[in-house]
């Protein structure tokens, strides 16, 4: 597919982690016919993420004017594996997660992680959701656990300790964006200080995201899933492959 201009406008199904980027690059006359956003919190539950994405795909494929459904997602903890459409072609960028899309390629994402394995990535979307390691996450989790476990402070402290332990291998907050969000950069700096980490800023590369929106869908950077097939795992740096439904 060389350009979305050669097709009927597609349906965009996106994680709301990309809300800022969609507004910035979609323009006043966006290329999609419809836009559906699902909450980023679904990433914590890959099976639920898969279920909700599939439900929305099933709804979107009923629109006779749509020929493609574009998924602004990536592998996302295997949550996109198995997604299928019986009537429309699915498009998804090849990547492990949204950071791959913001950095512009799988290879760049892998290289940054190779150079510094202790990275934890921050972006405007994840910061907006207050889900990144930092003071707001601590506060949110404490309130959530206190309500869930009937103010059992001992249980809450144990759970907070488990959450903190999950970041013990991290030592650097790496900020990436496509929109020069200075407030988010400052927030990342504050989080790094709170965690006792270093902080780095890597310039995003909007090429992959812009091409996702523009319909420049080459098979090297995007998985193109014809109707009646599903998204499968490739076990290499191409991330995805097309699989038959009965596999």
The least confident of 10-14, 153-157, 174-178, 203-207 is: 153-157
The dihedral region occupied by 173, where left means phi > 0, alpha psi between -120 and 50, and beta the remainder, is beta
Whole-number Å distance between alpha carbons of 67 and 76: 25
Cα separations in angstroms, 178 against 22, 173, 188, 191, 217 = 11, 17, 15, 20, 20
Regarding whether 177 and 117 lie in a shared domain, the answer is yes
pLDDT of 183: 96
Strand partners, 174: 121, 200
User: Which of helix, strand or coil describes residue 1?
Assistant: coil
CATH of residue 54: 3.40.50
Residue 188 confidence (pLDDT) above 70: yes
Question: Same domain for 76 and 146?
Answer: no
Does 113 share its domain with 188? yes
Same domain, 19 and 81: yes
Alpha-carbon span 105 to 93, nearest angstrom:
9
Q: Is 109 left (phi over 0), alpha (psi -120 to 50) or beta?
A: alpha
- Show Cβ contacts of residue 133 under 8 Å, excluding neighbours closer than 6 positions: 120, 167, 170, 173, 191, 194, 195
Query: In three state form, how does the secondary structure of 129-157 look?
Result: CCCCCCHHHHHHHHHHHHHHCCCCHHHHH
One domain for residues 211 and 198? no
Residues 75, 127 share a domain: no
Torsion angle defined by CA atoms of residues 181, 186, 189 and 194, in that order, rounded to the nearest 10 degrees? -130
Query: Looking at the structure, do residues 153 and 194 belong to the same domain, yes or no?
Result: yes
**Is 1's pLDDT higher than 50?**
no
Higher pLDDT, 151 or 66: 66
Confidence (pLDDT) at 74: 97
Where would I find the H helices in 84-206?
A: 98-103, 106-115, 124-128, 135-148, 153-165, 182-195
Residue 8: pLDDT band with limits 50, 70, 90: low
The answer to whether 184 and 127 are in contact (CB under 8 A) is yes
The total number of structural domains that make up the chain: 2
Give the domain range for residue 163: 106-203
Same domain, residue pair 212 and 188: no
């Amino acid at each position: 597919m060389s350009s979305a201009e050669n097709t009927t406008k597609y349906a965009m199904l996106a994680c709301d982690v990309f809300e800022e980027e969609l507004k910035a690059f979609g323009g006043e006359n966006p290329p999609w016919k419809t836009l559906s956003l699902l909450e980023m919190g679904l990433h914590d539950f890959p099976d639920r993420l898969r279920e909700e994405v599939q439900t929305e795909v099933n709804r979107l494929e009923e629109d006779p004017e749509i020929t493609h459904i574009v998924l602004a997602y990536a592998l996302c903890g295997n949550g996109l594996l198995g997604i299928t459409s019986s009537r429309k072609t699915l498009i998804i960028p090849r990547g492990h997660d949204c950071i791959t899309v913001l950095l512009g390629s799988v290879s760049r994402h892998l290289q940054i992680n190779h150079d510094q394995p202790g990275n934890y990535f921050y972006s405007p979307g994840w910061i907006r959701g207050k889900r990144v390691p930092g003071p707001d996450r601590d506060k949110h989790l404490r309130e959530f656990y206190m309500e869930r476990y009937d103010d059992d402070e001992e249980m809450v402290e144990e759970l907070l300790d488990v959450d903190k332990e999950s970041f013990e291998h991290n030592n650097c907050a790496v900020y990436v964006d496509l929109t020069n969000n200075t407030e988010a950069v400052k927030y990342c700096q504050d989080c790094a200080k709170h965690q006792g980490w270093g902080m780095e800023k890597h310039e995003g590369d909007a090429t992959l995201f812009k091409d996702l929106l523009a319909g420049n869908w080459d098979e090297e950077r995007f998985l193109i899933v014809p109707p009646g097939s599903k998204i499968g795992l490739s076990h290499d740096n191409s991330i995805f492959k097309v699989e038959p439904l009965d596999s």
